[in-house]
Amino acid sequence: MQSNYFKPAALKGLNRIGDVFIPKSDDWPSFSEFGGIEYIDDIIAYAPQEDIDSLNMVLGIFSFLPEGLLRWAAGQMVAATYRDGLLDGLLRQLNIGLKGILFSCYYSGKGGHSYAGKNPLDLVGYNVVRIED
């Protein structure tokens, strides 16, 4: 897939960190398997350019980090919530920023064009009725 905002390496990095946050389990699809990343441009269109540039850099690094280091990084992001060290403010921003993108892709209801499994919205029991008139 292609994006108007993210480089290919950043998209690869997003899928890799996405699978750490949302791994596959039984009928529960992993982040990359569901494929909601295909709609990433809809989500990111109104983000400030500076934030998009920063994300491209961080996600680019995630594209080649060894699996173990990637898991360690995710753990540090989550743990930073309860700490107040030198880098913890940045880690907290990254935690919220990344999860915002990941969960928006995953729980959008829109999977990738080749995905045929269960929709995460159905798996969590989110069924909303919209009465139009």
Partner 1 sequence: MHRAQGDCAYEKGNDCITCLSGCHRDSKQSTLITYIRQAEKLGLKVQAETMVERVEPLGNGYKLYATSHGERVEFECEKLILAGGTLGTNHMLLRSGFGNQLPALGKYFSTHPQYMWFGVYDEEINAHKGMFQSVASKDDRFRQRGFKLENVFAGPVSTALLFNGYGADHEEFMRNYSRITCAEVAVRDENAGELVVDKKGKLIIKKPLTDQDHSRMKDGVSVLKEILAASGAKRVIESPHFFGLHMMGGCRMGVDPQKSVVNPEYQVHGYKNLYVGDASLFPNAPGINPSLTIYALATRLSDQLVGR
With b meaning 16 or more CB within 10 Å and e meaning fewer, what string describes 50-81? eebeebbebbbebbeeeeeebeebbeebeebe
Based on the shown chain and the rule CB under 8 A, indicate whether residue 37 belongs to the binding site for partner 1: no
> Which residues, 6 or more positions from 53, have their beta carbon under 8 angstroms from its beta carbon?
none
Q: Is 69 in the site for partner 1 (CB under 8 A)?
A: no
Say if residues 15 and 101 touch (Cβ distance below 8 Å): no
Task: By CB under 8 A, name the one of 8, 53, 72, 81 that touches partner 1.
Answer: 81
CB-wise, 8 or 96, nearer to partner 1?
A: 96
Tokens of 92: 């907290």
- List beta partners, residue 25: 28
**Per-residue mark of binding to partner 1, 11-30 (x: CB under 8 A):** ---------xxxx-x--x--
**Residue 121 contacts partner 1 per CB under 8 A:** yes
Q: In this chain, which of 65, 107, 110, 118 binds partner 1, going by CB under 8 A?
A: 107
CA dist list (Å): 68 to 7, 57, 58, 61, 112: 23, 20, 17, 14, 27
Residue 123 contacts residue 27 (beta carbons within 8 Å): yes
Tell me which of 13, 35, 111, 120 binds partner 1, using CB under 8 A: 120
Can residue 104 be called a binding residue for partner 1 (CB under 8 A)? Answer: yes
| Binding-site member from 68, 114, 116, 128 for partner 1 (CB under 8 A) | 128
Q: Which residues bind partner 1 (CB under 8 A)?
A: 20-23, 25, 28, 50, 74, 78, 81-82, 96, 99-100, 103-104, 106-108, 120-121, 123-126, 128-132
